[in-house]
Structure 1
């Protein structure tokens, strides 16, 4: 069964055996293009000056609202700042929020899912009711409630998106743990009196690691979109720091006279979220095919 370690092998040996089978797999054309886009985004986040050129905070009032040209391929904003430089520099904030929020949501989801999958009926029922209530609420509403408690800013935005997406990861991990729990290795460890933490770390997580990674990759794209939505609403990264959602909000006033102020940040959100999602699906297919 995909995602479950061979009960005849130790957990580490099963992971190594599956890694050998994985070497023959490929991402496919779409997955490869998505991986290239994600790699470019990582370069932009680590070294924005390599792709952006101009300083993203440099103000030139005389060049305000200039249309895209050879000098400024994405045009300039109301303060004369280069939109290309700001889009490239904004990659760091958007990608960082997406990754950290996914780690937070995935971490909380792994803990809750493992408790539900390995605990008794009472624990499973409690976690199930909590996740059902969270699923009944819009994700953006949950994130805004967290922001209302912690206050606005990039770090609260990461936590807000992370906690809002945690129930989804918890449900997925619970299913993986339930499936892995039926394997002979896990049943033996439970009968031997191993603690739930040892069972999860040594036997369950190695078997469920690849599906979690694939789902987490998909979650980064979702987190980028929601983080941009929070910045668009003014509770994310504060100005004048370049961030795609905030740039979209700034461009609303100039949609008729300078549509490029919103067009290019919007395209950046769509392209990065799509690329990460396509890459995550490609990774998930690889995991299923192993």
Structure 2
């Protein structure tokens, strides 16, 4: 049986890519410019401040040109921070006067003059989406309108290690994060949150004593992992936008607390269906595909290999 959290977890699909990668990941929380990001590396939780131009990090801020940047969030007026659905928005400045990327649905290319702490985007050209615009639903189109509005003209650059803000003359901004992709296949994906409909809650909400919950997708079309108490194996068919999990069965027969076993069953249900997924630099979010009002999903962070 699917349980909802003791308290509302927030409307993930109207706040994010739908988490909380979170990713969440997953688990990012935005509040004006005083913003922290939850790291999913190693399944831990650390915070990294959004770029505000005054970095205290030991490592130097990254240059704007060169890296592939995820357009993590947008902020326009009093609307607060809005996260990209399905993680499709990105941008790359080549340092030689060109910029390319995706608004969230359609691609684009333009001229980009980087001078000091500012970049001027001009002569922008919109391109067709990579999937023939099949995924251009209303949410993605709405998000990319915001990106298009900001990513034009002169923008102020502020950086803080792997975070960059691009802010226009009206205070609207794009929050960028350096794309450090973790491979979908072969990585250990540690589930940090579960969701049901538009509610989201931490994996330990109902079972504080639950063990590590994770899965690993294999090259051979299978997956294995632990759902909080027992080890599991199953099949996983991976596509460009969906993963079809099936035949999730336990390979151990441990007995844990009722709360842990209940949560384990919730995890099993999520890994025994077709999900649409969003893959970020080090997070993965997934939900019943096609999405509906009773959809169930999860947020996971990748354990990076040393």
TM-score (norm 1): 0.25
Pick the structure with more strand per residue.
Answer: 2
